[in-house]
Copies of this chain bind each other. A is one copy, B any other.
Amino acid sequence: MSERSNEAGTVGKALNVLDQVAAFDRPVKFSELLESSEYPKATLYRLLKTLLQQGMIAHDDSSGAYTLGVRLVRLAHQAWRTSSLAPVARPYIDALSLEIGETVHLAQLDHAQVLYVDKRNAAVPIEMYSQAGKVGPVYCTGVGKAMLAWSPVPEQTRIIEQQSYHRFTDNTLTSRKALRSELEIICSRGHAFDNEEHEPGIICVALPILSQSGQVLGGLSVTSTTARHTLESLAQLVPHMKTAVGRIAEDAESWRFPEQIRERA
């Protein structure tokens, strides 16, 4: 996909390879990896061997293909529990999705991408892990723009630089300049829209989840279709969302401290 060669250290390289295996999204053979790899054969081979030994990837001997290992699933379970907003936000987004009957997304920023960490869909109740963990672009999603709008300037600048500005629809913002002025509007308005910028017919309204100190913790959005809603009618949901966002932020902050006590039981 993109050039990311300025990664130093063996650990960085190993994790790059891990990402590469993940990117294929299916069992992948050594030669396929080699083709798309920036590393020479022997290096790639040894990195794979190390990851294998560590249980981060698995190798099917009969087909000779590599897949991600189950150790990752375990680690990620912890990651999701301890470092994502999802566990804290769960009751509030449950309530919100019941109340308004539309799809609710909870997202966080990961580098320059939107990472969806939870989702509620009023129509199709169970569809969770399938969605949690997905990534999307920042510049043409409601949550992405909402989180970006309230990010500190240095990070905001970095992220604006790193977007691809691929045109998905007629409404997609396709330049840094367009995105920057959109962000200003979002800030003064207090919430972000996705006006069919990513997929035709899909619109959404989004709010950032901010800590008391103003730090961006994540984003919350309600998604619908142009058949059922207009931006204006979505905007009417903002007060409900504000409540949820406030409570999530509150809970998230009172979360970290209580357990510091039991240093050594």
| Known A22-B79, A72-B72: A126·B129 in contact at CB below 8 Å | no
Take A27-B82, A133-B76, A256-B63 as given contacts and tell me if A71 and B110 are in contact as well, using a CB distance cutoff of 8 Å. yes
Asked whether, in the complex, the Cβ of A26 is within 8 Å of the Cβ of B259, the reply is yes
**Most chain B C-beta atoms within 10 Å of own C-beta, residue among A51, A62, A63, A130:** A130
Which residues from chain B contact A19 at a C-beta distance below 8 Å? Answer: 75
A237 at the interface (CB under 8 A from B): no
The 0/1 profile, CB within 8 Å of B marked 1, for residues 2-17 of chain A is 0000010111101100
Q: Does A70 reach chain B (CB closer than 8 Å)? A: yes
Tell whether A86 is near chain B: CB-to-CB under 8 Å: yes
Which of A53-61, A164-172, A189-197, A243-251 contacts its partner? Answer: A53-61
Q: Knowing A73-B76, A81-B25 touch, does A54 contact B115 (C-beta < 8 A)?
A: no
Which of chain B's residues have a CB closer than 8 A to the CB of A240? none
Closest to A129 in B: B129
Using Cβ atoms and an 8 Å threshold, which residues of chain B touch A56? 15
Residues of B contacting A25 in the complex (Cβ-Cβ under 8 angstroms): 78, 81-82
A74 on interface, CB distance cutoff 8 Å: yes
Known: A74-B135, A259-B26. A10 touches B10 (CB 8 A): yes
Which residues of the other chain, B, contact A115 by a CB distance below 8 angstroms?
Answer: 70, 73-74
Q: Contact between A77 and B125 (Cβ–Cβ < 8 Å)?
A: no
Q: Could you tell me if B125 and A54 are in contact, using CB atoms closer than 8 angstroms?
A: no
What residues of chain A have their CB less than 8 Å away from a CB belonging to chain B?
7, 9-12, 14-15, 18-19, 22-23, 25-27, 32, 47, 50-51, 53-56, 58, 60, 62-63, 65, 67-84, 86-87, 108, 110-111, 115, 117, 125-126, 128-130, 132-135, 213, 256, 259, 263
